[in-house]
Structure 1
Amino acid sequence: MLKFQNKVILVTGSGTGIGQTVAKLFAENGASIIILGRRKEPLEETKKILDEIISRVKSNAKVWLFSGVDVSDETGVSQMFDSLKNSNVSVDVVVNNAGVSGPVTCFSNAPLEEFKSTVAIHLTGTFWTSTQALKVMKPGAKIVTISTFFTEERPFEQRPYRFRSPYTASQGAKNRLAEAMSWELAEKGIVSIATNPGPVHSDRIYKTVYPKAAAEFLRTSGFEDLTPSEVEAANKEIVGLLGENEQTVKDGIAKAASAVAKMKNGDAEKIAQTLARLLAKIQEIAEKVQKNTSFMIADRQFLSQMQVAQTVMTLADDDIAKILNGKVIPGDRVFYPVKPHITTSAPQVHQPDFASQVFVFTIDATDKGDAERAAFLAQHVEKNGGKAVCLISNETSKENQELISSKFHSHTVNLKSPEEIQRWLNAAKNIGKISAVVHITGKVPQDIKIIDLSRKRWDDLVDKFVNTPATVLQSAFEMFVPGGSKDPRLYKDASGTAVIIGPDMPSGAKISGSDRARVEVFRGALRPFATTVNQELSDVLKSKVRSFLVLPGGVDGKESDNAKITQALNYFVTDTARRSSEITFCVDETRE
């Protein structure tokens, strides 16, 4: 009998690439396959391939095809699993593979809707597919999530992945989500594992990610006599020409040159020559990035898609899955020399005089403790000569709003609206120079189980702990560097401090592993996000603007100490902090 005879495997994003290869390997081993994705044509081609395999191995397996299913779409995913349930189909393995590149650009230039869409596909798609799949899963079933190596490899190591902030945020959270689900699914006898395969040979990385990253390097400084905006307009037209025949490239460059010529009222023929050199430079940098990455691998080889599929199939083995339940494996094959981005408490500095300085606090309080923290920090600023302006989320309870607004200059604001945040930040500039924008996320509710959450409750959590902090940060950057999103050259030597505080680790004497893992989903999103954004600010934009992350509370369940956060704030506004690579501070943890 074939290894997966009479088993049913569901693979998201299975029309092409890794997903298709995973589906093919399971079919070779006797499984019936459920394939799904957004585009019908590649899925139909995959089904044809799978039907041929099934016929050849004589497994009598089946293939179910669900086209037009975007894993981030609540209705589409729910209806698919309802259909399977009504047909009495039981799923043995779910492979969370679907993904997109997302915007490959500096965070300050990334459209927020594209940021949110990337998070929705990678993170929410994994959550919703996994929890809806429970309708058709029995004890012994497995959920295998494919994530990325550009997240945490070790507890205090964090890898930035510049130009990929929404991707790294959602991938970091996916790793922690796989761990959290393993705790909650144990009573159902269902296993949850994640795998970070490292660099993989794929059209996406060669034709999209590396070339777009190279193009972004060139956009940030401009190219020859082209401004960043002109380079960006050209890149949209010419990056896709890499690998095409000579005539296609020539025609594409001519079209792009015509568009740029209108922007700058220039000579289209001369601009075409410049764009030809730009495209050659993009290819050169992309190839260099690929080569440099390979030199960090022992055998200098990226994995093949089949090797990733073999890893997934190994993890779906009954005995292996039980051993590795809740783990994120394998440890990545790439050796990156990583700076110490994560640390514990901030260095003590002489108390700064905040006279003539304004600190803007954006507050998304979950409970009274969050509101008290905001008041404590605001009081610290004003006690030392500064002015605190508090922008309180309109979703904060009236009681907690009053706790803050009764003591400080405050406004109730929709923190999901970048336009509204920007308006209030500009108003705050009338009070004085804004030295720091400090966002308080609030705590993750402890009365929940992830696998039981409604889609609305989940979306609210993702907004609160991922999308809203990103919205506030991007608004703060635009306030510190007006026009910098379109002309990144303006960032050079500009200064400013943006801080995200939270969410806290749960406190108390009887904190379970499940409680900690649940909070880590969202802390796991913010760590790679903050690290990636900061590397763009320092290494690419040559800026003194910085984003810091404070994660209060400790693994031992002790209460967080707000005084340690004020110590961190004092440090964050110093030149020393802006020169350091340490940007995530676990202020209540102790490490020898």
Structure 2
Amino acid sequence: MGGSHNPENAAMSERFKDKVVIVTGAGSGIGAATARRFSDEGASVVLSGRTESKLKDVAKDLDVGRTLVHVADVADQKSVEGLVAAAVEKFGRLDVLVNNAGIAPTGPVTEVPVEDWHSVIATDVSGVFYGCRAAAPHLLKTGGSIVNVSSVSGLGGDWNMSFYNAAKGAVSNFTRSLALELGGKGVRVNAVNPSLTFTDLTQDMKDDQKLMDKFMERIPLGRAANPEDIAPVIAFLASDDARFVNGVNLPVDGGLSASNGQPPLA
């Protein structure tokens, strides 16, 4: 298809013209919204994930000449290296890497299977490392940037989410360290830290009204995020508009982290 996915974004459609962007976990949720956003702004976008049919479903609405679907598993180093190589082979360069793919096992530390620990570390932490390591040489050539999708769970603890907290905490601090290492060489590294966002991962939570009521007490804007609330912030951090922003973990949380944790006083 020709043209922009969303004509309303026409004013910004040139911000990533001639730029090449990889988005992992692009088959749904934040990743899909992010891929659409970059495409709307003129980028050539590489959509990556483990399920080809989901990736193709997102890609069907994007400009065919500026879109590549590439199946990869971020927990596998060779798979990630192949993803980056395919992007550069197809489009000739790489300007932005968005490390979005992630999983979120929950439950008490003594009850969640040990295999879930290994899975979340492999996907949420090692996957980010593999992506950054493979992309860095290409980003150094273009003066590009990396945006990691961390979480408010990478800035503080949650009840019964210790595995996920450990993984996202690692992503948040890895982001800071890599920003120090690469910033002076022209590559910025930042992270977004969403709070509750309605995606496939959180569908069960959305259907639990009592739980939602508790969340709404804590989020000043009074609602959860949608993927389309997160994608523009990712695009901002990757853009030249954020050219002096480096090493930031930016909460996109409706004001959740503004609280000191005490309950609302009505």
- 2:239 paired residue among 310, 314, 317: 317
- 2:57 paired residue among 27, 30, 45: 45
Match of 1:62 in 2: 66
Tell me the SS of whatever aligns to 2:61: helix
1-side partners of 2:224 and 2:198: how far apart?
Answer: 6
**Is the counterpart of residue 302 in structure 1 residue 221 in structure 2?**
no
- 1:106 paired residue among 101, 105, 108: 108
Tell me the SS of whatever aligns to 2:101: coil
Contact 1:116 1:166 in 2 (8 A): no
Contact 2:183 2:189 in 1 (8 A): no
List aligned pairs for 1:155-554, cutoff 5 A: 159-207=156-204, 210=205, 286-320=208-242, 322-330=243-251, 332=253, 333-335=255-257, 336-338=259-261
Contact 2:94 2:142 in 1 (8 A): no
Match of 1:274 in 2: none
2-side partners of 1:192 and 1:50: how far apart?
Answer: 27
2-side partners of 1:338 and 1:108: how far apart?
Answer: 26
2-side partners of 1:198 and 1:18: how far apart?
Answer: 12
The one-character-per-residue Cα deviations of 1:66-116 (angstroms, maximum 9, x if unpaired) are: 11x1111011111222333445621111111101122x2111011111111
2-side partners of 1:316 and 1:82: how far apart?
Answer: 20
Match of 2:95 in 1: 92
Match of 1:489 in 2: none
- What is the Cα deviation at residue 330 of structure 1? 3.1
Q: Unmatched 5+ residue regions in structure 2?
A: 1-12
Contact 1:98 1:121 in 2 (8 A): yes
- 1:35 paired residue among 47, 54, 65: 47
Contact 1:161 1:168 in 2 (8 A): yes
2-side partners of 1:331 and 1:25: how far apart?
Answer: 17
Specify the code of the residue in structure 1 equivalent to 2:200.
D
2-side partners of 1:31 and 1:287: how far apart?
Answer: 39
2-side partners of 1:331 and 1:308: how far apart?
Answer: 7
Tell me the SS of whatever aligns to 2:14: coil
Contact 2:198 2:227 in 1 (8 A): yes
1-side partners of 2:221 and 2:86: how far apart?
Answer: 46
2-side partners of 1:205 and 1:88: how far apart?
Answer: 34
1-side partners of 2:147 and 2:32: how far apart?
Answer: 15
Higher relative contact order (CA 8 A, sep 6+): 2
Distance 1:136 1:87, change over 3 A: farther
Specify the code of the residue in structure 1 equivalent to 2:68.
W
- What is the Cα deviation at residue 331 of structure 1? 6.8
Match of 2:83 in 1: 80
Specify the code of the residue in structure 1 equivalent to 2:87.
L
TM-score by length of 1: 0.40
Contact 1:85 1:135 in 2 (8 A): no
The one-character-per-residue Cα deviations of 1:455-504 (angstroms, maximum 9, x if unpaired) are: xxxxxxxxxxxxxxxxxxxxxxxxxxxxxxxxxxxxxxxxxxxxxxxxxx
Tell me the SS of whatever aligns to 2:232: helix
The one-character-per-residue Cα deviations of 1:507-561 (angstroms, maximum 9, x if unpaired) are: xxxxxxxxxxxxxxxxxxxxxxxxxxxxxxxxxxxxxxxxxxxxxxxxxxxxxxx
The one-character-per-residue Cα deviations of 1:153-174 (angstroms, maximum 9, x if unpaired) are: xxxxxx3212221111010110
Specify the code of the residue in structure 2 equivalent to 1:37.
G
**Is the counterpart of residue 7 in structure 1 residue 19 in structure 2?**
yes
Contact 2:20 2:93 in 1 (8 A): yes
Contact 2:28 2:200 in 1 (8 A): no
Contact 1:139 1:188 in 2 (8 A): no
Tell me the SS of whatever aligns to 2:151: coil
Number of aligned residues: 247
1-side partners of 2:61 and 2:34: how far apart?
Answer: 12
**Is the counterpart of residue 128 in structure 1 residue 130 in structure 2?**
yes
Tell me the SS of whatever aligns to 1:50: coil
